[in-house]
Amino acid sequence: MPKPSCLNIGAYFLIVMGLTVCFGWYNQIDSLIQIHPDFVPMQFNTALGFVFLGLSIFGINYEYYFAARCFASLVFLLAFLILIQYIFGFNIGIDQLFIEHYITVATSHPGRMAPNTALCFLLSSLSLWFLTYFPPRIKFLSTASILSAFVTGFGTVAFFGYLSEVETAYGWGMLTQMAIHTSVGFVVAGFSLIVDSQCISLRRFQRLPFLMLPITSGIVGLTITISFWQSLEGSESMIRAECVNYRHNLISEGILIMGVIFSIVLGATIWLTQKYKEQVMKLKQAQYQILQLNSQLEKISYLDALTGVANRRLFDVKLSQEWKKAYNNQSYLGLIMLDIDYFKNYNDYYGHRKGDECLKQVAEAICEVVRSENDLVARYGGEEFVIILPNTDKQSLDAIALRTLNSIRQKSIPHENSPISKSITASLGGYTIIPEYVGLSELENFMNKADQALYEAKSKGRNCIVIRSLDK
């Protein structure tokens, strides 16, 4: 989404243009008021309206909605009073309220903005009111976009009217005409307001109203088409009145038909494009959710449901991976096998529910010692646990095994049915080696060595540790 600094480009343009024309009126610099001596000047009130319009857009972009609404209200009041004067044919004294106008080219009332200019200001102020409604609503943002589309259309028609020298495109009858730089201002203002409505929609609702862009585009096209058609019809009527033998042509009708078709096709194309993007987005979201579910299922399939540590399946995968790494790096790989002493007696005495709680506590005690990301604690089966320890020689393996045994002892899990202790104990056997081969038989031999060490610890009376290595 564009940042406020990017969105403010249009507001900067409107304010600078308005202030420049105001400066030109106060200092009587004609080149700042008129683009060309034969063109209509931008009236002082028009320039003031653009300044207020730009400040209101600033307020919207920085979410100062009250200030934006105040400036929009000033624009509305100015435009409404101008239109009232045109409709009812009286003067309430606001045309030259701030300054006396000395340039009156194509001006029916000195200082009074053109009626189409006032209409564009009125539509712009209404659009701003809808944009400043808080909290925003989708229907208000859509309405603001549509009103702004009309403003853009009227400004575009007037601008191209100047380029094509069709006066009826920027002037209504004998009334004051819209200045060329005024038309540019409304194109910029309308476009800025359309962008603002879409950005607010994306920021607040993370989506655009589905028909906002197609309808807005279609209205811009239809407004331009109909305005051009009316302009050409007006010009043709004037020529017909002056020329007795004037022969009617179908150019204006052709432009109207082609413009309407183009506008409808443009809106439909944008709608279909949005529909396609929406389907693609939904498909991507569905794929992402499937990937997440697969990832979660994979994690679940590798965990022991009771203790939360790795299960036998993950142990087999991890041991094979670490065996190959240790072979390639010629580094030590340690394996500890742990068996809870007299666990069957525990289950018989306390029951299986307590037995499950005991397994959880033992797993917790092991994990408190073995915390490295490269290490792995897994439940091997029943009351047996295994610990994979990469880069661990015999001395380090012995130290980790001792800390693990002490951690279990410190849990002080009662075991009244044990012949060796009043609390849960464990026997640990470990083996560490630098692999010389990567075959399956060598890996199985490695596990057998650790299992033999565990058997030896049990033979010594349990509640003890036996660690072996290739050297000894």
Residues 177 and 39 in one domain: yes
Q: 376 in a domain, yes or no?
A: yes
- Assess whether pLDDT exceeds 80 at residue 205: no
pLDDT in tens, 266-281: 777 777 777 777 788 8
Domain of residue 124 covers 4-209
With 0-12 / 13-18 / 19 or more C-beta atoms within 10 angstroms meaning exposed / middle / buried, residue 458 is middle
pLDDT in tens, 322-380: 999 999 999 999 999 999 999 999 999 999 999 999 999 999 999 999 988 889 999 99
Q: Residue 325 maps to which CATH number? A: 3.30.70.270
Task: Looking at the structure, tell me whether residues 168 and 35 fall in a common domain.
Answer: yes
Q: Which of 159, 178, 209 is the last residue of a domain?
A: 209
Residue 281 lies in a domain: no
Residue 64 domain-assigned? Answer: yes
Q: 226 or 55, which is more confident? A: 55
Domain limit, last residue, from 141, 176, 209 = 209
Q: Is residue 166, in this structure, part of any structural domain at all?
A: yes
Mean pLDDT of the region 33-44: 89
* pLDDT tops 60 at residue 4: no
Question: Angle 312-329/440-459 helices, nearest 10 degrees?
Answer: 110
Q: What's residue 394's pLDDT?
A: 94
- What's the per-residue H, E or C state across 317-364? HHHHHHHHHHHHHCCCEEEEEEEECCHHHHHHHHCHHHHHHHHHHHHH
Burial label for 80, CB within 10 Å (0-12, 13-18, 19+), is middle
218 in any annotated domain? no
Cα–Cα dist 401/409, whole Å: 12
Are 180 and 112 in contact by the 8 Å Cβ rule? The answer is no
Clarify whether residues 28 and 174 are in a common domain.
yes
Percentage with pLDDT > 90 across the chain: 51
152, exposed or middle or buried, with CB in 10 Å at 0-12, 13-18, 19+? buried
Higher pLDDT, 270 or 18: 18
Range from 156-165, 206-215, 420-429 carrying the lowest mean pLDDT: 206-215
What are the pLDDT digits (tens) for 218-237? 777 777 777 667 666 666 66
Domain-ending residue, one of 174, 209, 244: 209
**How far is Cα 142 from Cα 164, in angstroms, rounded to an integer?**
33
Catalytic residue among 383, 436, 442, 444: 383
Return the pLDDT at 439.
78
- pLDDT tops 80 at residue 463: yes
Average pLDDT over residues 426-449: 91
- pLDDT grade, residue 413 (50/70/90)? very high
Q: How many domains does the chain have?
A: 2
Assigned domain for 327 exists: yes
Residue 383 annotated in active site: yes
- pLDDT digit string, tens, across residues 85-103: 999 988 898 888 888 888 8
For residue 408 the two structure tokens come to: 């279990």
pLDDT at res. 333: 95
Q: CA-CA distance, 378 to 308, in Å (whole number)?
A: 9
Q: pLDDT value at position 99?
A: 86
What pTM was estimated for this model as a whole? 0.57
Grouping H, G, I as helix, E, B as strand and the rest as coil, residue 22 is: helix
Q: Measuring CA to CA, how many Å separate 316 from each of 193, 373, 415, 471? A: 62, 17, 32, 25
Instruction: Record the tokens describing residue 302, joined without a space.
Output: 């590798």
Q: Does the residue 364 lie in any domain?
A: yes
Window from 114-128, 182-196, 207-221, 352-366 with minimum mean pLDDT? 207-221
Report if residue 290 sits inside a domain: no
Question: Cα–Cα distance between 38 and 40 in angstroms, integer?
Answer: 7
Q: Do 185 and 331 share a domain, yes or no?
A: no
